[in-house]
A and B are shown apart, each in its own frame.
Chain A
């Protein structure tokens, strides 16, 4: 627990400091005689005893202009990867958890429709972490906003605080679809983890992004926003993007193009 707290404190650095740390890390990497070793480490996930690093900030870019009407491959992939029952199959659809969902926006004036997935935005300043009484909601150093299922007491204050309605409470006993690397439990709160289990394995991507790419839509890009050479950083430099409810100044890990 104290390690997690330390991680979230480490992560609360200013953009300047973060840039400095990134630059310093990059320089150090350049000076290291075996940069190949470091790349190998990243590609194969970090060892268990090594803490997540704030040199990395995982993020996602959603290109809403490519997000297809009627397609919910990202939602299905998330449910399969993380073991939550799809809403359509749930006996209690109103109370069923949804880690990611498709939104259809319509401009009432022009009738133009926009499709996009909505999920935990992995804020740099997450309101859910601020309000959590036990510290079960926490932000990992690499930007992932997660819930420690062992210390979540199910008070739902984070759900009151989230401006994106990204979180769900597990309302009933879980069936046997649970995945061994995705702990879940009745009475606790959960949300998108950016497939933390995949990241820690070194996959470097999430189930929803893989599904979107496989379907040929390519509306989702995932990667390290701190690495200027990553695909996501390049895309974010190229395309104008927006943060949902940018007025709240939460510095989101999910950026949308075409909204």
Chain B
């Protein structure tokens, strides 16, 4: 097997520092947004006692799910012994860590008492899925960190497969945990199903890979290194499978609900009468996030790099739309405490709840994305994560 040379990106051009500065600016905005929310309380957000988890959760859960998926490329290399993926693995691991960091920061900074993070770290209720997630997230950093170390340090290279396998099993458990945050809720019709755990896993595959592909292509294009079609086409095919699987899960979930009379009202809300949620579901998640990427990637357009990038961007947009519908749409639909009765109260019982994200919420969410990208940008500058070249010839040699 041919060897691959990894090298840091030089990162001294004005363009690099502009990227660094722009991301830093968004991190700063995110910090200011958190400061505002922390100072005034959640009164400055669009959230209330009906929509209790808003836009920050959409970003946080998306990033956490994508983090787990971004590790996929590395898993394929070491767990499933595909040599072609080996040179792609270090970036995959660092991106997973960076996205997880961004997601977690948004999650904890949106707490009503973010200053009490230490309480969450010292008081546990093991019946809570949230508590389990605290351990799953911390374990993820440790395992993926160790895995990255085994990939980069020759002296511990022999442990790479073991570390990779542990990280792979952990990430599957982690996404099961993230899906179960919602799956273990009995109160709302759209939650409370085991379906959410595997669905979140497959969504993580798709969102994580889409982000990975965009970051990979950008790093190679902006540093003038060669990224051959062999790698792109292989990853593209993988993305097709994942996006199709997401579509499959979504169809099965809604078809099952449609069969049950008790879910008819909430399904009608999401699929037909829900206004922004219906638009986000059909246009955002289904059309832009699933169908369009499939059409692009399976047609002749999928041979062109620009179109692959467009497809990846659409998968990411679709993913955010899906999280918005899953998290906020489910809360917008009123709780059905008295089936068959019309309900009125001063607490908005019986009505569809409205939600408009405020500026601090938007910037807190974007701040998480910016942190993730900033960490990745910095990491490729200081660590040997990217192969000097990924041209077709080099990649072909790996497989023989």
Using a CB–CB cutoff of 8 Å, the interface residues on chain A facing chain B are 1, 87, 92-98, 101-108, 114, 118, 127, 129-136, 151-157, 159-165, 167-173, 186-189, 244-245, 248, 259
Per-residue 0/1 for B116-131: is the Cβ within 8 Å of any A Cβ (1 yes, 0 no)?
1101100111011111
Contact B125 A165 (CB under 8 A): no
Q: Is B349 an interface residue (CB 8 A)?
A: yes
Closest B residue to A174 by beta carbon equals B41
User: Number of B residues contacting the other chain (C-beta, 8 Å)?
Assistant: 47
Q: Which of B153-161, B195-203, B332-340 contacts A (4 or more CB under 8 A)?
A: B332-340
Q: Is B112 an interface residue (CB 8 A)?
A: yes
Q: How many angstroms between the C-alpha atoms of A131 and B119 in the bound complex?
A: 16
Across the interface, which residues of A come within 8 angstroms of B184, CB to CB?
A: 131
Contact B185 A153 (CB under 8 A): no
Across the interface, which residues of A come within 8 angstroms of B123, CB to CB?
A: 1, 133-136, 151
Contact B186 A132 (CB under 8 A): no
Contact A98 B128 (CB under 8 A): no
Across the interface, which residues of B come within 8 angstroms of A155, CB to CB?
A: 111-112, 120, 130
Across the interface, which residues of A come within 8 angstroms of B185, CB to CB?
A: 127, 131, 160-161
Contact A101 B346 (CB under 8 A): yes
Across the interface, which residues of A come within 8 angstroms of B127, CB to CB?
A: 129-131
- Across the A-B interface, the 3 shortest Cβ-Cβ residue pairs: A154-B112, A187-B112, A133-B130
Contact A131 B340 (CB under 8 A): no
Q: How many angstroms between the C-alpha atoms of A154 and B107 in the bound complex?
A: 11
Mark out the residues of chain B between 337 and 361 whose CB falls within 8 Å of any chain A CB in the assembled complex: 337-338, 340-349
Contact B112 A160 (CB under 8 A): no
Q: How many angstroms between the C-alpha atoms of A1 and B341 in the bound complex?
A: 41
A132 CB → nearest B CB, Å = 6
With known contacts A162-B187, A163-B337, A171-B48, A153–B116 Cβ distance under 8 A: yes
Closest B residue to A244 by beta carbon equals B337
Q: Sample 11 A-B pairs with CB under 8 A, ordered by A number.
A: A93-B346, A107-B342, A133-B131, A133-B134, A153-B120, A154-B112, A160-B185, A160-B188, A161-B186, A171-B48, A259-B338
Q: How many angstroms between the C-alpha atoms of A170 and B52 in the bound complex?
A: 11
With known contacts A134-B125, A161-B185, A188–B113 Cβ distance under 8 A: yes
Contact B345 A104 (CB under 8 A): yes
Using a CB–CB cutoff of 8 Å, the interface residues on chain B facing chain A are 40-43, 47-50, 52-53, 111-114, 116-117, 119-120, 123-125, 127-131, 134, 181, 184-188, 331, 335, 337-338, 340-349
With known contacts A98-B347, A156-B52, A164–B41 Cβ distance under 8 A: no
Q: How many angstroms between the C-alpha atoms of A161 and B335 in the bound complex?
A: 11
Contact A171 B338 (CB under 8 A): no
Across the interface, which residues of A come within 8 angstroms of B131, CB to CB?
A: 133-134
Contact B346 A94 (CB under 8 A): no
Contact B335 A131 (CB under 8 A): no
Closest B residue to A116 by beta carbon equals B338
Closest A residue to B54 by beta carbon equals A156
Q: How many angstroms between the C-alpha atoms of A187 and B113 in the bound complex?
A: 5
B122 CB → nearest A CB, Å = 8
Contact B48 A106 (CB under 8 A): no
Contact A133 B120 (CB under 8 A): yes
B179 CB → nearest A CB, Å = 14
A101 CB → nearest B CB, Å = 5
Q: Which of A105, A163, A168 contacts B49 (CB 8 A)?
A: A168
Across the interface, which residues of A come within 8 angstroms of B112, CB to CB?
A: 152-156, 169-170, 186-189
B262 CB → nearest A CB, Å = 10
A96 CB → nearest B CB, Å = 8
Q: How many angstroms between the C-alpha atoms of A153 and B347 in the bound complex?
A: 23
Contact A104 B130 (CB under 8 A): no
Q: How many angstroms between the C-alpha atoms of A93 and B348 in the bound complex?
A: 11
With known contacts A130-B127, A160-B187, A104–B111 Cβ distance under 8 A: no
With known contacts A131-B130, A131-B185, A169–B52 Cβ distance under 8 A: yes
Across the interface, which residues of B come within 8 angstroms of A96, CB to CB?
A: 49
With known contacts A1-B123, A134-B120, A248-B186, A169–B42 Cβ distance under 8 A: yes
